[in-house]
Structure formats: structure tokens, C-alpha cells
A = this chain, B = another copy of it.
Amino acid sequence: MNEENIAVFAALAEPSRMRMVSLLRSGPLSVGEIAERLQIRQPQASKHLKVLQQAGIVEVEADANRRHYRLRAEPFQELELWLTGYRELWNERFDRLDDYLKNMPD
């Protein structure tokens, strides 16, 4: 993971934002819905969403005066890729996983 992707870790290193990401797993939500479910104020929700957006973790779709935020796949894929460099840490069980990933059909 390169220096530019440190923003992803920084963005996730905050409880409200981590909860936002978890919340958005089940689909896009508006700012108001997010603020309500996380029990935080709307401006804070907007601010946190901006951070997540700048880190590339979420993207926005405008719908009238609503903004629907959804998770982007890329940072998670990159995280997955980054982790492959550390699989050798635990056991040979994941050597087989590495093989599987390498040979996996697209």
C-alpha cells in the first residue's frame, strides 16, 4: 500500500466513519439517514462523508436535494491486494489461498 492510500487507513481510523462504512454495506443511504442511524448531527455526518469521499471510500449520487452515498469497491480491493503481501505471516494454509487467487478465473 503506497503513501497515497494511507488516506484510506486514516479515514477508517475514526469510530463514526467506521460505522458509516459498515452501515453502507447494505446499500446507499442519504446523509440524513446516516446521521439518524449513527445518532450524530447532520453537519458532522457531512464532514465525515467528505473525508470518506476524498479517501475514495464512498461516492455520491445526487438525487434532487438528497445525496446518496455508496461504498466504492476499489479501496477494499486494494486493501485485499495489500494484505496478500502479509499472508506469509501466518501459515501455509494461505499458501493454498494464494494459489487459488492466482489461478482464479476472471
Interface residues of A (CB under 8 A from B): 1, 3, 6, 9-10, 12-15, 18, 25, 71-73, 76-77, 79-80, 83, 85-87, 89-90, 93, 96-97, 100-101, 104-106
Contact A71 B86 (CB under 8 A): yes
Q: Is the interface of A mostly helix, strand, loop or mixed?
A: helix
Contact B89 A76 (CB under 8 A): yes
A/B interface sample: 13 pairs, CB < 8 A: A3-B15, A3-B18, A6-B13, A13-B13, A25-B85, A25-B89, A71-B86, A76-B86, A76-B90, A93-B105, A93-B106, A96-B104, A97-B104
Complexed CA–CA distance, A25 and B83 (Å) = 11
Q: Contacts A76-B83, A86-B25, A86-B76 given; indicate if A6 touches B12 (C-beta within 8 A).
A: yes
Complexed CA–CA distance, A73 and B96 (Å) = 17
